[in-house]
Structure 1
Amino acid sequence: MLLIVAAFSLTANAQSYRLSILTSAEDSIKVGIYKKRFNTPSDRQQVLNGVIENLFSQSYLSAGYDSIAVQDTFMTAALHVGEQYKWAAIRPGNIRQETLQEAGLRETYWFNKPVSNKGLLQMYNMLLDYYENNGYPFAEISLDSVEFSGNTVTGYLNATLNKLIVFDTIQIKGSARLKQSYIQQYLGIKAGAPYSEAAYRKADQKLRNLPFATPVKSTDILFITDKARPVLYINERKSDQVNGIIGLAPGGGTGPNASKLLLTGEFKIKLNNLFRSGKVFELNWRSFKARSQELKTNLQLPYLFHTQIGTDFRFDLLKYDTLYTTVGRQFGLQYQFNGLSSVKVYYNVNSTSLITVDTLSLRFNKALPSTNSTISKNYGISGTLNTLDYIFNPRKGYQVTLDVSAGNRRVRRDPRINDIEFTDGSGHAFNLYDSSELKTAQYRLKYNAEKFFPVGKTSAFRIASAGEHLESKQIYFNEVLRFGGFSTLRGFNEQSIFATSYSLLIVEYRYLFAQNSFIQVFWNGAYYEDRNIQRASIIHDTPWGFGVGANLDTGAGILSIAYALGKEKSNNFDLRTGKIHFGLSSYF
């Protein structure tokens, strides 16, 4: 008896409620597939209502049920779908036509397009985005005076702007010390300017990329009457740097010196945030070859006179072996976009003086040397676009820099060469400069690009490319480009490869185990050409190398170490030619 009662109970609970929607074959396609069996009447009613909501979303605004019949557990619903409604016009009510255009709402966006809540919501959001970035974060949008004509709809967009909100001065909570003029320009949040939600939302990422401040909490915004006060939670970060890099590599000599190691190195000092206003001074000294040294200095003065414009001064000095000395000077005007992206125009002067002159060779060859005293004057423009999430140890984003310049190069008369005279068949005296073209046009292109792809939560894949091209009718040895070493092509001696044009490709996998630390495996390769006048024909090659490395945050600074093997021309890999690089960036 108990078994019979239990079976009856299970049958009652498993009772099925069914649904059938009647419509034309054409309209059934618009309805789509729907569920037909249910455990409860409420589940069935939800599907019944959902069919109408789905049709509304497809702009069939007159869709509805003509009749609904229920017999026991079976429901039959007769559905009419009707016509699809489209926008005839969306006219500005109290909104200016210019505002619609600035928000991206043009007639082609809605004309003859199906009417839907989704499309209307997109229009609302586009307008709200515009207003909240132009001083009205509490604006409200509505569609009023809706008119139907056949299957077309006309409506009027209206806005209730509420109160105009402007930015207040920025409040800093923490140990960071920054001038208001600097931080306002850097963040694009200027006191008295209309409130911008976009500027506020970008503030945290920009603060993360400041070398001299560390955010400890997300930025807050306080609305007080008609002002919005940003509150930054940032502490001072030790950012002034003293860096040293030491390289050990085979000396490349012959005879007894063949096995000797060549000690190369680099010393760098960088002072950030001078006078609490983001000013930067940088000095970089490098010894990359026996009897060769290079000094580079740079002074950056951003946001002059409370504008986005800054200045850039550079002074470079290169002594190459016992051959020549080159002095470079550059003055630039830079426009800084909000954050780390910028564009710069500049004027550059490079002058080379010969240290030694082989007059005997000149008398024998009766031609100017491959290294000459020259002066080049160029005008250029460069730009940087940076979207890296964290410049000190990025996982995603990209950075692109492009630099182009044009000008002229003039050969200067060196007295030691100018005094060497020859006599032609007619008995007329001449020197080597008289028969040479001393002035010629010169063009230069330089680029650097890198992209980071996040892998999981703690790794990143980096692809980078860099290159430079020098174009001129004649290119002397003192003008050629130099690359190779820790910062360009690992596995090779510092600046050991000479070229008039080169392009690099770098592929890295990084495992990021701390905020400023990672280990890496890498491959780097290059293609280059050298057609300076010293060459009888164009020299080209595809050197490449691979290795492992690490950046370690020691608390007092960043320790960089890398080991790489390189291969060029027809040489095979040799462990004895491996390059070891050490670097230490100390902060104070």
Structure 2
Amino acid sequence: MKTFLLACFLFFVAGGFICVAQNSYWVKLTSDELEGYADWKAFSGKIAGRNYLDSIQSSLQNEGYLGLYLLEDDIANDSARVKLVLGKKYIWDFISEGNVPREFSKDANPITQEYSSAVAWMRKVIREAENHGFPFAEIKLDSIQRSGNRLSAVFSYDSGPLILWDSVKVEGETKTQESYIQNITGIRPGTPFSQSQFEEANQILTRSPYFLQTQSPSVEFQIKKAQPTFTLRDRNTNVLDGIIGLLPNANEPGKMLITGQLDLELYHLGGKGRDVAVHWQRLNVATQSLDISAKESFLFNSPLDVSLGFNLLKQDSTFLNRYLSLDFGYHMSSNSYLRFFTRRQSSDVLSTKSYEDATKLPDIADYRWNQYGVGWNWNKLDSPYFPRRGFLISSEFAMGNKRILENTGFPPEVYVGLDLNSPQYLGKGEIEKHFYISPIWGMWFKGSMGFTQNKNLLLNDLFRLGGLKSIRGFNENFFFARSYGYINMEQRLFFGENSFLMVFADFGILENPYFAPSLDKPVSFGAGINLETGSGIFRFIYGVGKSNLQPLQFSYSRIHFGYLARF
């Protein structure tokens, strides 16, 4: 017992010494003119205490107390008692802009009688000069005169040499071309140096999906030139993943049926932002999809991107949809991206047997739709793959003429009195927001909506929703919708840079004019894990959903899982 009490005593004594060691210098600042400095403040050392006094003095001087001073009336090795004497507060009676260029001062707040307003004005001028090719500009007060506590002065400005951008320098383990960095950052040789452009370039490269910055960017000044250097390391962004299966073909005895899935994504080819992707899926005999896309960034070193795309969807034995698209993208700013596109959408009915006795146009038909549209993205996410902060807005609107083709397998009377040519509209939008609560806890919200409109709207015109990328807890492309809106919500518990546990809930409202009732309100919830491995990402999500077509039962639950290998 005595040993235990002695140990406790020594523990508390040692703890007391530790606390004293952590707060080894004390400062008490008093003032007859200001309140709020009467208490003792503890600091880790004498230097920290002195820095505190210097910061107080500098802050008050910027407010106009130019004659203030400190009186130390009680000094010890571990403490100081200091009295603050403010003196007069000086104000501006008159101040002239002198030789400061008007283009650098026109956006600055006007100088008032407050002494600090001149300091803020000078900082604004210097910042503008730095952004217009003069990083070594200086400004000071000249011809200062005093009358009581009122001051007058003239600004004296020295621009220093004009500095122009030199060529961008790229270092590190990367195939990225210098021309691509110049295009994406806007830093071009021969243009005036800009400090804000350099800082913005750092943010742009941080969000790139192609590479990481391994060092902070730097600028080297020499002979009126500024050469920025960016040290990069390529990300493992390319994807090759797939499953191929051979099954006996029940429709053609003696032959084999190829099934499976293939994902091939090649990014940043040649270090120029050139992307190619192929996605193929065939999980049963009758249904398959194919998606091919290619993108060329900064066409001929212009701010324009061009993309080509082809998509094919064969819906069992019902219809076959094909899409051919041509996109032109314009980089409006580091965050804003504008697209103009044209798209030709074709759809053909595969089997007409069930419609031989139809008296009106069936819910599916052959058509051709030429679309012309515009899209806009606003990206403020802090990471291209697994962001923790920021938001993303994307939108798209298209319109064009749809022409319904007469199918010889349908009775001719279904086309009588039907307007075969009519305008059709389509709109889509998404808002994504990430909340960073703490290093291990975050939240993600996403809202999506869309609509399509036509006087002769068909089932094979409608949006396809459901699955891992839209409303979880349902099969892929489970829903048909003329208009839709849904919200995805996740709570994430991080245990690695890109690894986290999550729980989710999805809520939606869909309209399908060919189903009864036409309005559906699907709901789903579940949990999952996103696990980063050495060569890819493993994702496993378990969800259960309820809709007009699916009851809320665990026997209808869905498991979404996959492993995305990157190289």
Q: TM-score range by the shorter chain?
A: 0.7 to 0.9
- 8 Å CA contact retained: 1:60, 1:85: no
Please give the alpha-carbon distance, in whole angstroms, between the structure 2 residues aligned to 1:190 and 1:175: 23
Is 1:560 aligned with 2:542?
Answer: no
Deviation at 1:153, TM superposition (A): 7.2
Please give the alpha-carbon distance, in whole angstroms, between the structure 2 residues aligned to 1:322 and 1:498: 17
Please give the alpha-carbon distance, in whole angstroms, between the structure 2 residues aligned to 1:148 and 1:306: 58
576-585 or 158-167, which deviates more: 158-167
SS at match of 1:395: coil
Deviation at 1:208, TM superposition (A): 3.5
Deviation at 1:205, TM superposition (A): 3.8
**1:157-189 CA distance string (max 9 Å, x none):** 443111222222222222211222111112232
**1:171-218 CA distance string (max 9 Å, x none):** 222221122211111223222222222232234443343333232222
- 8 Å CA contact retained: 2:169, 2:178: no
- 8 Å CA contact retained: 2:65, 2:87: no
- 8 Å CA contact retained: 2:88, 2:149: no
Residues 124 and 433 of structure 1: CA distance in aligned 2, closer, same or farther (over 3 Å): same
Please give the alpha-carbon distance, in whole angstroms, between the structure 2 residues aligned to 1:114 and 1:187: 41
Residues 231 and 343 of structure 1: CA distance in aligned 2, closer, same or farther (over 3 Å): same
- 8 Å CA contact retained: 1:136, 1:164: yes
Please give the alpha-carbon distance, in whole angstroms, between the structure 2 residues aligned to 1:459 and 1:96: 49
Please give the alpha-carbon distance, in whole angstroms, between the structure 2 residues aligned to 1:95 and 1:240: 53
Aligned residues: 505
What's the counterpart of residue 485 of structure 1? 467
Is 1:398 aligned with 2:391?
Answer: yes
Deviation at 1:485, TM superposition (A): 0.3
**1:509-558 CA distance string (max 9 Å, x none):** 22232233222221112111122xx35x6611221111122222222221
One of 304, 324, 338 as aligned partner of 1:343:
338
Deviation at 1:348, TM superposition (A): 1.5
What's the counterpart of residue 353 of structure 1? 348
Alignment of structure 1 residues 355-504 onto 2, 5 Å: 355-358=350-353, 361-363=355-357, 365-417=358-410, 420-421=411-412, 431-504=413-486
Task: Output the amino acid matched with 1:416.
Answer: G
- 8 Å CA contact retained: 1:362, 1:368: no
Please give the alpha-carbon distance, in whole angstroms, between the structure 2 residues aligned to 1:154 and 1:18: 32
Deviation at 1:241, TM superposition (A): 0.9
Comparing both chains, which one has the higher relative contact order based on Cα–Cα distances under 8 Å and sequence gaps of 6 or more?
A: 1
Deviation at 1:482, TM superposition (A): 0.9
265-274 or 462-471, which deviates more: 265-274
Alignment of structure 1 residues 110-509 onto 2, 5 Å: 110=110, 113-117=112-116, 119-144=117-142, 156-244=154-242, 266-287=261-282, 291-337=286-332, 339=334, 341-358=336-353, 361-363=355-357, 365-417=358-410, 420-421=411-412, 431-509=413-491
Task: Output the amino acid matched with 2:221.
Answer: F
**1:473-494 CA distance string (max 9 Å, x none):** 2311010111010111111110
Please give the alpha-carbon distance, in whole angstroms, between the structure 2 residues aligned to 1:201 and 1:157: 28
Residues 584 and 457 of structure 1: CA distance in aligned 2, closer, same or farther (over 3 Å): same
Please give the alpha-carbon distance, in whole angstroms, between the structure 1 residues aligned to 2:119 and 2:186: 29
Please give the alpha-carbon distance, in whole angstroms, between the structure 2 residues aligned to 1:472 and 1:231: 54
Is 1:545 aligned with 2:531?
Answer: no
- 8 Å CA contact retained: 1:289, 1:494: no
SS at match of 2:191: coil
Gaps of 5+ in 2: 1-27, 41-53, 70-83, 245-258
Residues 203 and 511 of structure 1: CA distance in aligned 2, closer, same or farther (over 3 Å): farther
Task: Output the amino acid matched with 1:371.
Answer: I
- 8 Å CA contact retained: 1:87, 1:115: no
- 8 Å CA contact retained: 1:506, 1:522: yes
Task: Output the amino acid matched with 1:175.
Answer: E
TM-score (norm 1): 0.76
Deviation at 1:500, TM superposition (A): 0.8
Task: Output the amino acid matched with 1:562.
Answer: I
Please give the alpha-carbon distance, in whole angstroms, between the structure 2 residues aligned to 1:572 and 1:282: 37
Gaps of 5+ in 1: 1-16, 22-30, 39-48, 66-76, 247-263, 422-430
Please give the alpha-carbon distance, in whole angstroms, between the structure 2 residues aligned to 1:19 and 1:346: 69
Please give the alpha-carbon distance, in whole angstroms, between the structure 1 residues aligned to 2:365 and 2:262: 29
Deviation at 1:370, TM superposition (A): 1.0
Identity %: 26
**1:357-387 CA distance string (max 9 Å, x none):** 24x6453x42111101111122211111112
Q: What is the RMSD computed on CA atoms of the aligned residues?
A: 3.8
Deviation at 1:139, TM superposition (A): 1.3
**1:236-255 CA distance string (max 9 Å, x none):** 33321124599xxxxxxxxx
403-412 or 475-484, which deviates more: 403-412
Task: Output the amino acid matched with 1:546.
Answer: F
TM-score (norm 2): 0.79
What's the counterpart of residue 20 of structure 2? none
